[in-house]
Amino acid sequence: NSPLKNHPEAFVQQKDATMHLPVQVGDYTDFYSSIEHATNVGKMFRDPENALLPNWRHIPVGYHGRASSIVVSGTNIHRPMGQVKTNEMETPVFQASGRLDFELEMGFIVGKTTQLGERIAVENASEHIFGLVLFNDWSARDIQKWEYVPLGPFLGKSFASSMSPWIVTLEALEPFKVQGPKQDPAVLSYLQYEGAKNYDIQLEVGMSSKSSEETIISRSNFKFMYWNMMQQLAHHTVNGCNVNVGDVMASGTISGKDESSYGSLLEISWGGKKPFELKDGSKRTFIEDNDTITLKGFAEKEGVRVGFGEVTGTILPSK
């Protein structure tokens, strides 16, 4: 019974609307919670027989990212510059990243503030999570490789992350809860949980260029995550770290078990060794200038479908 139903001129089409970030992001934390992704990266850069570091199955590994460079879907990203050192170089050089990548992630928005010294119990964590968004944590692999030892990602990540303009609440996602993977060895008591804490959310990644229409390069699912959101938030605050309304926590790259479900070009091209084709026949290993990456997601069960829309971004040359 809307009073505007007979006045279609009052409605603005989405294509004519300007999308904004759905929250003013205060702090941003990125996790590393897909065992398939972590294993693939470990195989590429470390011992394939011991791909996971000793702590990985015991804690939801994460790092504090840069909130100021989180941008809304549709924002163009300039190729980052930084120090790069390949195995063939004796000393690093300053240049534009040549191994620019996306990361297929989901993020959750904190909806309830805590005080310094307070811990969020895993069984109460959902009360502090307002909802979920699609998230692309762009990554400059060559910059990151040179800088990340010993303190982790810095310039290789902080240049930009893209977020969808729509938040889907946990209440809306209740029908899509599923059991997560078995965690072995058993986790410590503060990380133990009961019931279904993962979510069956179907995800896909498309890549296009100036000369090629979109090619779907990955189809994955949020349900694959080894560490769930409740464990991530419980671990984040177990030392007494406080969280605020609007804080963003990203899942880390979401990869499945087979190549069609890998959540980054690092894995899809296996470190640049396996080029893949776009629809126009051009080949890629990493993102080139004027390429566009689009992440999409939805949950569907028994005729009920909840969509996340998309998060998209085009890479422009360095400034």
Residue with tokens 């398939």: 36
Q: Own/partner pairs for 179-187, CB < 8 Å, 24+ apart?
A: 180/223, 180/225, 180/226, 180/228, 181/35, 181/224, 181/225, 181/226, 183/57, 183/226, 184/57, 185/57, 185/58, 187/58, 187/231
Choosing from 7, 20, 37, 58, the catalytic residue is 37
- Please report, to the nearest 10 degrees, the dihedral formed by the alpha carbons of residues 255, 259, 260, 264 taken in order: 50
Is beta strand 129-136 parallel, antiparallel or unpaired with respect to 161-163?
Answer: antiparallel
What residues pair up with 82 in beta bridges, in sequence order? 95
N-to-C CA span, the chain: 51
Is 20 tagged catalytic?
no
Q: What is the DSSP string of 260-303?
A: GG--BHHHHTTTTTS-EE-TTS-EESSPPTT-EEEEEEEEEETT
The first and second tokens of residue 102, run together, are 């996306």
What residues pair up with 305 in beta bridges, in sequence order? 300
Residue with tokens 């990985």: 56
The first and second tokens of residue 250, run together, are 């990203």
Chain centroid to CA 76: 17
| d(C-alpha 224, C-alpha 214), whole Å | 25
Query: Annotated catalytic sites, by residue?
Result: 37
